[in-house]
Amino acid sequence: MTMNRAKILEKLAVIRDLPSIPEVVGKVMALVKDPEISISRISRFIEEDPVITAKVLQIANSPLFRGTREITSLSYAASRLGLKEVEKIILSISIMKGIKGMNKRDTRLFWKHCVSVALMTEVVNKFSKTPLPGNDPANNDLFVGGLLHDIGLLVLKHHFTDEYDQVILVCEAGETNLYETELEMLGTSHAEIGAELARNWNIPDSVAAMIAWHHDPERAPDAHLRLAQTVNIADFICNNQGLGFSGEVNIRKFSNTAWFALGLKIEDVEEMLDEVKEKAKESELLSMIG
Ligand SMILES: [Fe+2]
């Protein structure tokens, strides 16, 4: 017997080992939005978490970023990498810790999907006819929302395994995609569950909206419509081109409205893909998982 939405949300509220992000991540995400914030103030927050600090230093000292001398302090790392990069690293570490119960191959593919969509969301914005400028706070949400968009899948697969196996079987046997089948069989979706989770983490509403509406962007509140449309297109391109794998077997849909609103052209897709592949090569994020 399949669980319905109310039961799933009820159970979700009491599950103890949901993917979590350390308190420091929520704080940093809020602080990074403040243009007046100093690197040393953010560094002090991050230093409260020694695991994250060690990882940021490790990445700052990797060949891609390292200059002539070893980086041993977090504020030096942040000034070298930039705060946005530091935010990406700490968020990525948190999500990776949340991937449980998948075999090594699936974990790698899922992680590749998350990182590819994060990079693609930024690239889709860049190719759109009216890109969000770098100094717009929403620009900062592009990568983060892309990285987190499918986080609800982890919860459904890990905590509602039997119900979710049924969803997957129906998708594999027919032509419906995961999102539609989840809504039909569970009355909820990985998008809703993911957004619910993100709200518990205290992350910005704009990012929660990207997660909630990445399969149905036109239902996003006006303030976040643009971000939801951007992640919808990025997700479609990555799925369609096999950049990682999130479990979606029937990929056919993307929002036409989003495509035209962003002013994208079909001939841009190849260039966008090249750019994401290049960024992925340069990024340390993909190699962070075993
Ligand atoms: Fe999704």
Q: Report mean pLDDT in 10-residue bins for the chain, 290 residues.
A: 81 77 72 78 82 82 73 84 80 75 83 92 97 86 92 90 93 90 95 90 88 97 97 95 86 88 95 92 66
- Which H or E element spans position 166? helix 161-173
How far, in Å, from the CA of 150 to the mean position of ligand 1?
5
The rounded distance, in Å, linking the Cα atoms of 12 and 211 is 17
What integer pLDDT is reported at residue 2 of this predicted model?
60
CA of 149 to the centre of ligand 1 (A): 6
What's the pLDDT at 65? 67
Domains in the chain, CATH or no CATH each = 5-19+102-288 (1.10.3210.10), 20-97 (no CATH)
Q: Determine the distance separating the centroid of ligand 1 and the alpha carbon of 268, expressed in angstroms.
A: 23
pLDDT (0 to 100) of residue 119: 93
CA-based angle 257:258:260, to the nearest 5? 70
Predicted structure pTM score: 0.86
Nearest to 200 by CA among 5, 13, 9, 2: 13
Q: How far is the CA of 235 from the centre of ligand 1 (A)?
A: 7
Residue 53 to residue 43: CA distance in whole angstroms: 9
Q: For the chain, how many helices (H) and strands (E)? A: 16, 0
Yes or no: say if 132 and 139 are a contact pair by the CB < 8 Å rule: yes
How many A from CA of 148 to the centre of ligand 1?
A: 10
Could you tell me the two tokens for 286?
A: 């993909």
For residue 216, the CA-to-ligand 1 centroid distance in Å is 10
Distance 118 CA to ligand 1 centre (A): 13
- DSSP states of 240-264: HTTSS--S--------HHHHHHHT-
Query: Residue 132 has what pLDDT?
Result: 94
Q: Distance of CA 262 to CAs 132, 212, 258, Å?
A: 11, 19, 6
Instruction: Report the distance separating Cα 50 and Cα 52, nearest Å.
Output: 5
Cα 245 to middle of ligand 1, angstroms: 11
What is the per-residue pLDDT for 34? 76
Task: Give 1 Cα–ligand 1 centroid separation in angstroms.
Answer: 24
User: Given the structure tokens 């990797």, which residue do they identify?
Assistant: 62
Q: How far apart are CA 36 and CA 91, in angstroms?
A: 22
Query: What is the CA(214)–ligand 1 centre distance, in A?
Result: 7
Q: Where are the alpha helices (DSSP H) in 99-136?
A: 104-127
HSE (side-chain half, CA atoms, 13 Å) at 126 = 15
> Distance, CA 166 to ligand 1 centroid (Å)?
17
Distance of CA 57 to the CA centre of its chain: 22
Identify whether the C-beta of residue 231 lies closer than 8 Å to the C-beta of residue 149.
yes
Those residues whose C-beta lies under 8 Å from the C-beta of residue 146, and which sit 6 or more positions away, are 114, 117, 118, 119, 120, 121, 122, 210, 231, 234, 235
Q: What is the DSSP-derived secondary structure letter of residue 133?
A: P
| CA torsion through residues 258, 264, 265, 271, sign | negative
Cα 186 to ligand 1 centre (Å) = 15
3-state helix, strand and coil shares in percent for the chain, rounded to the nearest 5 = 70, 0, 30
